[in-house]
Structure 1
Amino acid sequence: MTVPWLPPVGASSVFRKTVTESDVGLFAGITGDFAPQHVDDEYMRSRPQGRRIAHGVLTLGLTSTAAARLCDAHGVTAVSYGYDRVRFLRPVYLGETVTVDYVVERVDEAARKAFAAMTATAQDGERCLVGTHVLYCYPPEGAA
């Protein structure tokens, strides 16, 4: 039985964004994370990456947009219930375009939860983030 206010298994969305200098600067300001790997060009020239990298949580945040788009497309009202097994596989460099693929793999109707695989891939085709996102879905007003 399909519950109309839960996203169906197999539902998916894609979100693509180029991570900019502004994104990283604003994120650092919001979070207070001014670690040199994010904000100091000279420091990073002497490190193995050779250049600045975006905050991992900024990359994870891009998955939230994919989730919101999926919910919107399916008329689902949901909040994030958490993330499981998130792994940062490689850094995201400033100026790189990241594509997030978000796919509902499982739905627990009794718990009102949807479990989605999320994969962020850089423009060179390398995966930079993987994990599972858990959504808690709200039924419409008056529904059981």
Structure 2
Amino acid sequence: MRKTATLTISLLATALLATGCGSEKKDDSPVKTSKASPSTSAGSEAKGSSLGKKGVPHQVAFEVGGAGAAQVMWNGNSHHFEQVTLPWTKTETVQLEGAELKVGVTVSVVPGSVRGPDGMLKPAPCTIKVDGKRVADNQDGKSPKLCQYKLKD
């Protein structure tokens, strides 16, 4: 009797697997999928969204003032961290694309420390210019905050 029950369960499991239990669903639902070409589908997805779109290129200049050497971290097209000789300037072309067109992207520079007139360390002065216009600074090093700006098209 035990052999018959085991054999029956094995046959049922095999039959279920053979009939497609757990396999891809057949198209018997009322929802029909589009068989449009890839270029048509991609174009329709991009309508009304910023997928694949690019914004205007912007010249972003990061500047750190002072004298001597300092560690500087900046974020434009990517993140950078390096030892530089002051005064220092780095210019990058930043072009927003995709979702960045709606939400923007933050560009920033974290200046290292320099000696102030009193001999104490203070943040080096920093500025960010976008297309030649000053958009952020740390009040000539008086503010301990980094220089940052939300770039939007």
- Would the TM-score normalized by the shorter structure come out above 0.5? no
Normalization by structure 1: what TM-score? 0.29
Choose 1 or 2 for highest CA Rg. 2
Normalization by structure 2: what TM-score? 0.27
Larger helix percent: 1
Q: Which has the higher contact order (CA 8 A, sep 6+)?
A: 1
Larger strand percent: 2
